[in-house]
Structure 1
C-alpha cells in the first residue's frame, strides 16, 4: 500500500469510495475531481498494489486560519476496513501539512468517526474540544428536515520540533 497525493484521475474512485461508505454526505462527482486538482497538497489516497485508490482523506487549510487543517472527508473501501488505514492516513496527512490544529465535523450517530478522531487526538497528545457547528435544521436538503447536527471536533495544539512547550 502506498500513500500519495490524489490525481484528477482518482476523482471517480474517491467518489465511489465515499458513496459506498454509506456514512458520508456524498458530494457531486465533479466536486471530487476539483478536490483532486485544487486540494491535492492537503489530501491523500491510499493505493493498493495495483495502483487503485482504496482509501482517501481530503482536507484544506482554513483561509481565515491557515494553520488549521480541516479534514473534509475520510473513507476506506469496505474490503480494506479494520486495518487502521484511516488512522494511518490522518497521521500521514498531518505529518505532511504540519498544522497548528485539526478540525473536522462528525454527526452524533457516526460512532466510527468519533472513535477515529478521539483516538487520533489521544495518540498525538492533543486537546479535543467538541461543540455543535451546524444545527441540523440549517440543512435544507433532507427529506424530513432531520439532518443530524454537525459537531466540530477541534484538536490542538500541535508542537513543532524544537519549539518550547
Structure 2
C-alpha cells in the first residue's frame, strides 16, 4: 500500500468509495474531481499494490483560521476495512499539514467516525471538544438530517507534534 496526494484521475474512484460507504453525504462526481485538483495538498489517497485507490481523506485549511485543518471526508473501500487505514490516513495528513488544530463534523449515528476521531485525539494526547455546529433543521432537503457535531482536536504544538 502507498499513501500519496490524489490525482484528478482518482476522482471517480474516490466518489465510488464515498458512495459505497453509505454513511457519507455524497457530493457530485464533479466535486470529487475538483477536490483532487484544488485540494490535493490537503488530501490523501491510499492505493493498493495495483495503484488503485482503496481509501481517501479530503481536507482543507480554513480560510479564517489557516492553522486549522478541516477533515471533510474520510472513507475506506469495503474490502479494505478493519485494517486501520482511516487512522493511517489521518495521521499522515496531520503530519503533512502540521495544523494547530483539526476540525471535522460527525453525525450522532456515525459511530465509526466518532471512534476514529476520539481514538486519534487519545493516541496523540490531544484535547477533544464536541459541540453541535449545524442543527438538523438547517438542512434544506427535508430528509430529517441529523445534526452535524463539530469535533475540534488540539491544539498541536507548533512542530506538528502532539502535546
Contact (CA 8 Å) 2:98, 2:159: kept in 1 or not?
A: no
Kindly indicate whether residue 146 of structure 2 is the aligned counterpart of residue 151 of structure 1.
no
Q: Which segments of 5 or more consecutive residues in structure 2 lack a partner in the other structure?
A: none
Equivalent residue of 2:37, what SS? Answer: helix
1:14 maps onto 2:3 in alignment: no
The structure-2 alpha-carbon separation of the partners of 1:86 and 1:156, relative to structure 1 and needing over 3 Å to count, comes to same
SS, match of residue 16 in structure 1: helix
Who is 2:158 aligned against? 160
Q: TM-score, normalised to structure 2's length? A: 0.97
- The ranges of structure 1 where at least 4 consecutive aligned residues each deviate by more than 4 angstroms after the TM superposition are none
How far apart are the structure 1 equivalents of 2:64 and 2:123? 27
Two-structure CA RMSD over aligned residues (Å) = 1.4
Residue deviations 1:48-99, cap 9 Å, x none?
A: 0000000000000000000000000000000000000000000000000000
Instruction: Give the structure 2 partner of residue 37 of structure 1.
Output: 37
The C-alpha deviation readout for 1:20-58, integer Å capped at 9, x for no partner, is 000000000000000000000000000000000000000
User: Displacement of 1:141 after TM fit?
Assistant: 1.5
- How far does residue 3 in structure 1 lie from its aligned partner after superposition? 0.2
Q: Which residue of the partner structure matches residue 58 of structure 1?
A: 58
Aligned partner of residue 96 in structure 1, secondary structure: helix
- In 2, the alpha carbon distance for the partners of 1:126 and 1:96 equals 17
Q: Which runs of 5+ in 1 are unaligned?
A: none
For residues 19 and 31 of structure 2, what CA distance do their matches in structure 1 show?
A: 13
Report the CA distance shift for 1:162/1:47 in structure 2 as closer, same or farther (over 3 A).
Answer: closer
